[in-house]
Structure 1
Amino acid sequence: MKLNRETTAYLLGAGTFLVSLVVPPAAQAALATLATGLAGYHVAWEGLHDTVVQTQAAHRFTPNIHLLMILAALGALAIGSPTEAALLILIFAGAHFLEEYAENKSRSAITALMAMAPNNARRYTAGGRVEVVAVDDLAVGDRLLIQNGAQIPIDGTILTGTGAINEAAISGEAIPREKGPGDPVFAGTLNGNHPFDMTVTKAASDTVFAQIIRLVAAAQNTPTQTASMIQRFEPRYVRLVLAALPLVLLAGPLGFGWSWATSWYRTIGFLVAASPCALAASAVPATLAGITTLAKNGVLFKGGRYLANLKQLKAIAFDKTGTLTAGHPSVTDVRFSAAVVEAELLPVIVAMERQSNHPLAAAIVAHFPTVPPCDVTVHSQLGQGLSATVAGHQFIIGKPARFAPVPAAWQAQVAALTHQGKTVILIARDGVVVGLIALLDAPKPSAKGAIDYLKAHGVTPVMITGDAQPTGAAVGASLGIDTVYANVMPTQKASVISRLQAHFAPLAMVGDGVNDAPALASAEVGIAMGAGTDVAIDVADVVLVDNDLARLAFAHRVSRKLDRIVRENLVFAMSVVVLLVGLNALQLTNIAWGVVLHEGSTLLVILNGLRLLHMRRES
């Protein structure tokens, strides 16, 4: 706790109160009254100042809880109970400090992130020298040197060298990633033991790290629907309590036969019991704790209400390519006829594909990294595939249409693989098909687990893809997604979301491309993959920094726990109010015990919300 003026006065007040408990009765009242003033002056200021400001803004009387506490303390002093007044203020102010601590604990994520932001970079000059410059002075295209153990200053791409990059700052993943030329690197991450050169691809203000800081800051300033409702309810409730005070005062002598002194005492007790301190603290600390925990785990929310809404979802629509799948093809099947020797054929195939710039060719080459090189001259015809002559043999690599009709010996295999959504490439030698290679944009390892989790919790997964029906159906079946919209043009995705909302509301959309942006904006919750386009990230409400759908399942878990904690807090807070009002009316408690129980409930509510700070993602 920072020892500013308020906390110093509070500690002095607490010390004075403790002394008042052991001094003679003659000095006890004076010390307790002094303790009340020291510990509560900032409570009085906030109550009066905020009430005036909010009343002027709303053009109607808008009191807050602090005002009730001031009146309760003044009333206790007026009836000669300074010890109860001091106890009330000390516990209320202590709970208030704890709530501020809870909020600051969550908001410290911003401070920690900003402290991690790099300030300087080592840039190559035109002459090849290395100069140290401010990160803000870097421009797209600059070449930088990243030393051993150094922090990467800005987003870019590795040019030469390799590095084991610790990306925990942006993804929450502690295991370093091996990266080499062509791989992206991000500001705020840490290089391992190997230096490398990189080129800058984004301005300092547009890096993933900068976006994280902005998104977390925005989220912590946007309350949930429940928190907003409580904030709107608070002044109405306080007005109701203030209006009830004269009725409670008169009900004592007129309805229960109490003396006026007893009625005054019970009226102060009612004021303490009815104050909604715990109610006001039911949602905000818990929401901030949830947002902070998720930010540390690579899930960024642009507002607390989106975290609360996640638990309410009836369905989530997923874009396929780059979201559910890797976004690039990979080899799944390699088959050759018995008439050829695979070890002799593979070098020719890989050598031919190395000379093509087609994505399928790159996938085939990547699948056979240890195949020795082979010198060939390749001829490529658009739509026809590749051809080459090697050692007197004519080789052709192309899609089945190139060989139509497909030889009977291969028809069943080609049909079966195509039905699975795979792209099939046939290899022919001297006009005879001797092998095939099948490729698929395979689902991400995290996708199946995330889909299974969502289905287990009553959330219907839907896939939207521009691919043909067989491919979409095959990928959907492998992930357990029963509802698949295939052949969907980019301009049609938003209309598909609208149709789904008629049956599943609220609905979320997960995507990564420019073509997903309208659908992300149309859904009740838009979720963008962190490696997606800036447009998708800008319009989305949630960003999965590491493109890991397992983190979406974790966010849903946090949302469910947040909802459960807030409900627990609301029920507990109102139950304590009802209990204390009843005990006060029956004269079964005094002001001191009412203060302890009431403000103790506020402390418990805040601590209950802070449990979200300790949630851990399942590995």
Structure 2
Amino acid sequence: METVEKKAHNHEEKHDHNHEKGHKHDHSQNHNHDGHNHGDSKSPVILFFIGLAAFGLALLIKEKNVMQSALFVGAMVSSGYHIIGEGIGDTIKNTIKNKRFSPNVHLLMTLAAIGAAIIGNFEEGALLIIIFAGAHFLEEYAEGRSKREITNLLKMNPTEARLIQPDGSTKTVDVSTLKIGDKLQVLNGDQIATDGVILSGMTSIDESSINGESIPREKTVGDNVFGSTINGSGVITMEVTKDSSDTVFAKIIQLVNQSQSNLSKTATKIQRIEPYYVTLVLVLVPIFIILAPTLFNWTWNQSFYRGMVFLISASPCALAASAIPATLSAISNLAKRGVLFKGGSYLSNLAEIKAVAFDKTGTLTKGKPSVTDFYFEMAEATDSEQGYMDIIVAMEKTANHPLANAILGKFNAENMLNIEVENKIGTGLIAEYEGATYQIGKPEIFENVDQSIQQHNQEYSNEGKTVVYFAKNKQVLGLIAMMDVPNENAIEVIRYLKSQNIHTTMITGDAELTGQAVGRIIGIDEVVGNVLPENKTQIVKEQQSRYGMTAMLGDGVNDAPALVTADIGVAMGDGTDIAIDVADAVLMKNDLTKFSYAHKTAKRLDQVVWQNIIFSMLIVATLVFLNSIGKMDITLGVLIHEGSTLLVILNGLRLLIPTKK
């Protein structure tokens, strides 16, 4: 199997036009969630286990001697190699960058281990380092370091076009060679190579990759067409109006790439308090050592010993375990129920969302039209509704179109008729049967329509439904209304989000009227229609500005930029590969109720993490107090620390239990 990098490289060699005009896509970036670059990520892990082995060997030596101490020191240095490096190196780097002292917990752990070694307690120092290093690796595993690749998106970019030559013949050329003004031929089923305008011909075009609409749009002379969309059954000629790097689809790629370049991990609760906690401890330890002889009448040796106990007592073993086991448990809980999160921070941040933006088609709706209403008038006494249905089914069976599939899913024929049907672009389906001409098509192509039919058409259109007429000998006898109906779980999920005071918005490429109709059914707060991909991103940014932390749910290529821009991007499991690639979480089986379940679980996680933080800090405060009155030694301090760490981990494991719905 090719690696992602190799596939991306191969694609770039073949289609270097995608990298013109500043649109070069860098696949080499590694957006490491913890902000640290370890180089070869395997080396610290190998050194950790070498140190763990050294620690185990030291414990087998029953009497304290030089060999045992050397093994403990070796365990400390080997297991804590990257902890020590990050503790000292990142403190220096961040201090220079921020122009103020910016220590981290790694530095505190390094000093605590050195302090333990200075007073001869090598075992405790090594134990502290091993526990913290192990937790650190566990966090890296939980976060996943998943790269947001756009390789699949690039593969969807058109690569070839049929260029019309001066003599009228066509030549297949690379899209990168096209110039504005070139004329192209687009056969049925072809991918449209670039943005342009139709010069001749009529067709229907699947534009779902651009606007997310499930129903193809009919196009004729003068209409705009977009690169990457799929031509239907007609043949057209078009004129190129944009360079391949300036098309709507190219803008989608550019937006995703720019967003990826500026990714930043929202700090977890512990990371936010870390600098303050470490700075406080580093300030208090020397003050404690200096003042203790005066306050407690200790000798300088006693004061230094108690200072080291203080440093070790304040080491954040339980604090370090406050979030990771709980987050892993919550992620496991959700994974078993079809919700996959790509990092613990995304799940943690889900509890804090203030707004959710939904793509309509395929997310809030089923993604394909269904017949919602129909109305017939009998032309003759011998006509019947079932007779009309038999004819309609026979005609629609010849069409390969989402609307035809919707009609066939609703109507059942009692008599299987064998009718010759002609499919004319812009006219619809036409058939001859028993001396009469039957037609199914858009309302715009019919004249002299009865008032009752027009009233029904107006009623259904106002509800955002797509209407087709059924006519006999050019007399309209009925109409069929279709709509991409709401996902059966959408109403329940929107109701839950409202109960949590979370603002909900539906973003759709469909007409405003269609969006409003779906919005009314599911009870959503806000509907924004007629939206192109670049506007989706802007709408998400506006939501972030107005409400705060914002989640985005979508399933299509057109949703990718918005999914990346949102604080938390959630893809539907049946969606496109690129939507799943760039999202922070995936709802398998397109089950929207999993999103509300994930939010409830995230809120539980938030509560558990804060419980753990408060408990671990209370333990630290208790140990420091007992140490200050001479009632604490290193061994007891480490034991209480490890006991509190165990309790914190067990509390986190409660998140493996299913969340109440």
Name the counterpart of 1:42: 75
Q: Identify which of 309, 312, 323 aligns with 1:269.
A: 309
Q: Identify which of 47, 51, 55 aligns with 2:84.
A: 51
> Does residue 426 in structure 1 map to residue 479 in structure 2?
no
Calculate the TM-score normalised by the size of structure 2: 0.63
Structure 2 Cα separation of the partners of residues 48 and 102 of structure 1: 16
Structure 2 Cα separation of the partners of residues 266 and 53 of structure 1: 27
Structure 2 Cα separation of the partners of residues 615 and 5 of structure 1: 35
Structure 1 Cα separation of the partners of residues 133 and 562 of structure 2: 43
Structure 2 unmatched ranges of 5 or more: 1-45, 96-102, 147-259
Q: Pick closer, same or farther for the CA change 1:371–1:470 going to 2, 3 Å.
A: farther
Specify the SS of the correspondent of 1:395.
strand
Q: Identify which of 597, 606, 609 aligns with 2:649.
A: 606
> Does residue 326 in structure 1 map to residue 351 in structure 2?
no
Which amino acid in structure 2 is aligned with residue 276 of structure 1? P
Structure 1 Cα separation of the partners of residues 304 and 49 of structure 2: 36
The offset of 1:299, in angstroms, is 3.9
Contact 1:334 / 1:435 at 8 angstroms: preserved in 2? Answer: yes
Name the counterpart of 1:500: 543
Q: Pick closer, same or farther for the CA change 1:226–1:490 going to 2, 3 Å.
A: closer
Structure 1 Cα separation of the partners of residues 82 and 143 of structure 2: 25
Q: Pick closer, same or farther for the CA change 1:69–1:531 going to 2, 3 Å.
A: same
The offset of 1:481, in angstroms, is 0.8
> Does residue 459 in structure 1 map to residue 502 in structure 2?
yes
> Residue by residue, what CA displacement relative to the aligned partner does 1:325-345 show, whole Å, maximum 9, x if unpaired?
122111223444575433333
Contact 1:332 / 1:440 at 8 angstroms: preserved in 2? Answer: yes
Q: How does 1:287-298 map to 2 (within 5 A)?
A: 287-295=327-335, 297-298=337-338
Specify the SS of the correspondent of 2:591.
coil
Specify the SS of the correspondent of 1:502.
helix
Structure 2 Cα separation of the partners of residues 546 and 489 of structure 1: 26
Q: In terms of mean alpha carbon deviation, does 575-584 or 426-435 score higher?
A: 426-435
Structure 2 Cα separation of the partners of residues 411 and 582 of structure 1: 84
Name the counterpart of 2:493: 450
> Residue by residue, what CA displacement relative to the aligned partner does 1:263-290 show, whole Å, maximum 9, x if unpaired?
4553343223222222233334444444
Structure 2 Cα separation of the partners of residues 500 and 577 of structure 1: 41
Which amino acid in structure 2 is aligned with residue 252 of structure 1? A
Name the counterpart of 2:239: none
Contact 1:224 / 1:305 at 8 angstroms: preserved in 2? Answer: yes
Q: Identify which of 484, 504, 512 aligns with 2:555.
A: 512
> Does residue 571 in structure 1 map to residue 614 in structure 2?
yes
The offset of 1:484, in angstroms, is 0.9
Which amino acid in structure 2 is aligned with residue 257 of structure 1? N
Q: How does 1:8-87 map to 2 (within 5 A)?
A: 8-11=53-56, 13-14=58-59, 30-31=63-64, 41-47=74-80, 50-51=83-84, 54-56=87-89, 59=92, 64-74=107-117, 77=120
Name the counterpart of 1:225: 267
Q: Identify which of 524, 531, 542 aligns with 1:481.
A: 524
Q: Pick closer, same or farther for the CA change 1:10–1:432 going to 2, 3 Å.
A: same
Specify the SS of the correspondent of 1:225.
coil
Contact 1:448 / 1:480 at 8 angstroms: preserved in 2? Answer: yes
Specify the SS of the correspondent of 1:445.
coil
Name the counterpart of 2:389: 346
Specify the SS of the correspondent of 1:503.
helix
Q: Pick closer, same or farther for the CA change 1:497–1:269 going to 2, 3 Å.
A: closer
Q: Pick closer, same or farther for the CA change 1:569–1:224 going to 2, 3 Å.
A: farther
Structure 1 Cα separation of the partners of residues 82 and 372 of structure 2: 69
Structure 2 Cα separation of the partners of residues 535 and 509 of structure 1: 15
The offset of 1:361, in angstroms, is 1.5
Name the counterpart of 2:404: 361
The offset of 1:616, in angstroms, is 3.9
Specify the SS of the correspondent of 1:601.
helix
> Residue by residue, what CA displacement relative to the aligned partner does 1:507-542 show, whole Å, maximum 9, x if unpaired?
233333333334334433333334444444454444
The offset of 1:305, in angstroms, is 3.5
The offset of 1:246, in angstroms, is 4.2
Q: How does 1:228-267 map to 2 (within 5 A)?
A: 229=271, 233=275, 241=281, 244-258=284-298, 262-267=302-307
Q: Pick closer, same or farther for the CA change 1:452–1:396 going to 2, 3 Å.
A: same
Specify the SS of the correspondent of 2:546.
coil
Q: How does 1:120-135 map to 2 (within 5 A)?
A: none
% of aligned pairs identical? Answer: 41
The offset of 1:462, in angstroms, is 0.5
Specify the SS of the correspondent of 1:312.
coil
Q: Pick closer, same or farther for the CA change 1:48–1:486 going to 2, 3 Å.
A: closer
Q: Pick closer, same or farther for the CA change 1:374–1:307 going to 2, 3 Å.
A: same
The offset of 1:483, in angstroms, is 0.9
The alignment of Structure 1 onto Structure 2 pairs a total of residues equal to 488
Name the counterpart of 2:513: 470
Which amino acid in structure 2 is aligned with residue 249 of structure 1? I
> Does residue 529 in structure 1 map to residue 572 in structure 2?
yes
Which amino acid in structure 2 is aligned with residue 43 of structure 1? M
Contact 1:231 / 1:280 at 8 angstroms: preserved in 2? Answer: no
Q: Pick closer, same or farther for the CA change 1:231–1:15 going to 2, 3 Å.
A: farther
Structure 1 Cα separation of the partners of residues 637 and 464 of structure 2: 68
Q: Pick closer, same or farther for the CA change 1:266–1:618 going to 2, 3 Å.
A: closer
Structure 2 Cα separation of the partners of residues 316 and 551 of structure 1: 14
Contact 1:418 / 1:424 at 8 angstroms: preserved in 2? Answer: yes
Specify the SS of the correspondent of 2:419.
coil
Structure 1 Cα separation of the partners of residues 358 and 88 of structure 2: 47
Structure 2 Cα separation of the partners of residues 371 and 65 of structure 1: 80
Specify the SS of the correspondent of 1:564.
helix
Structure 1 Cα separation of the partners of residues 511 and 479 of structure 2: 21
Which amino acid in structure 1 is aligned with residue 360 of structure 2? K
Which amino acid in structure 2 is aligned with residue 99 of structure 1? A
> Does residue 99 in structure 1 map to residue 135 in structure 2?
yes
Specify the SS of the correspondent of 2:590.
coil
The offset of 1:374, in angstroms, is 0.7
The offset of 1:601, in angstroms, is 1.9
Structure 1 Cα separation of the partners of residues 86 and 125 of structure 2: 23
Q: Pick closer, same or farther for the CA change 1:33–1:222 going to 2, 3 Å.
A: farther
Specify the SS of the correspondent of 2:552.
strand
RMSD of the TM alignment (CA)?
A: 4.1
Structure 1 Cα separation of the partners of residues 660 and 447 of structure 2: 50
Contact 2:113 / 2:126 at 8 angstroms: preserved in 1? Answer: no
> Does residue 317 in structure 1 map to residue 357 in structure 2?
yes
Structure 1 Cα separation of the partners of residues 127 and 87 of structure 2: 25
The offset of 1:317, in angstroms, is 1.5
> Does residue 557 in structure 1 map to residue 593 in structure 2?
no
Structure 1 Cα separation of the partners of residues 440 and 532 of structure 2: 30
Q: Pick closer, same or farther for the CA change 1:558–1:375 going to 2, 3 Å.
A: same
Which amino acid in structure 2 is aligned with residue 598 of structure 1? H
Q: Pick closer, same or farther for the CA change 1:372–1:491 going to 2, 3 Å.
A: farther
Name the counterpart of 2:181: none
Which amino acid in structure 1 is aligned with residue 116 of structure 2? A
The offset of 1:5, in angstroms, is 5.0
Contact 1:44 / 1:67 at 8 angstroms: preserved in 2? Answer: no
Structure 1 unmatched ranges of 5 or more: 18-29, 111-217
Contact 1:451 / 1:481 at 8 angstroms: preserved in 2? Answer: yes
Name the counterpart of 1:161: none
> Residue by residue, what CA displacement relative to the aligned partner does 1:282-334 show, whole Å, maximum 9, x if unpaired?
33444444445545554444544433332222211212122221221112234
Contact 1:14 / 1:90 at 8 angstroms: preserved in 2? Answer: no
The offset of 1:42, in angstroms, is 1.3
